[in-house]
């Protein structure tokens, strides 16, 4: 029987892999862009434009992972070339709150982290 919750401290627990995937800067940015657009869909090129620094490959890999995990829904229009649209699922929307808190924490505490890093180099 599969437990209803993961155990981060169990080396075999898939929670560890999930945290690796949702803990990346690209996942956090993609979820933020899609959450800001919700309930509307966002096309791939628009996501890439709103995520400075992300390569096409990294965005594609990130969206594939989020889609596979059920956090993002993907819709393809059968045109030439195909138009691909993304939106957060209900599960994906539930991820925005904790990721927003983490982004806020990082933005607020970055000066202190920078000072600690500078002190460690001295």
Domains and CATH numbers, the chain: 15-121 (1.10.10.10)
Which letter, b or e, does each residue of 37-74 get, where b requires 16 or more Cβ atoms within 10 Å of its Cβ? Answer: beeebbebeebbebbeebeeeebeebbebbeebebbbe
What is the per-residue pLDDT across 76-87, written as a single tens digit (0 to 9) for each?
Answer: 999 999 999 999
Going by pLDDT thresholds of 50, 70 and 90, the confidence category of residue 13 is confident
Going by pLDDT thresholds of 50, 70 and 90, the confidence category of residue 8 is confident
What is the per-residue pLDDT across 39-98, written as a single tens digit (0 to 9) for each?
Answer: 999 999 999 999 999 999 999 999 999 999 999 999 999 999 999 999 999 999 999 999
pTM equals 0.86
């Amino acid at each position: 029987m599969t437990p209803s919750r993961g155990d981060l401290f169990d080396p075999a627990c898939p929670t560890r892999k999930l945290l690796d995937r949702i803990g990346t800067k690209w996942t956090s940015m993609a979820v933020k862009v899609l959450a800001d657009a919700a309930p509307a869909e966002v096309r791939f090129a628009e996501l890439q434009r709103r995520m400075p620094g992300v390569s096409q490959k990294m965005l594609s890999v990130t969206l594939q992972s989020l889609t596979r995990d059920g956090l993002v829904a993907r819709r393809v229009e059968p045109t030439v070339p195909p138009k691909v649209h993304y939106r957060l699922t209900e599960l994906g929307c539930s991820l925005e709150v904790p990721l927003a808190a983490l982004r806020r924490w990082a933005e607020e505490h970055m000066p202190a982290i920078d000072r600690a890093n500078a002190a460690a180099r001295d």
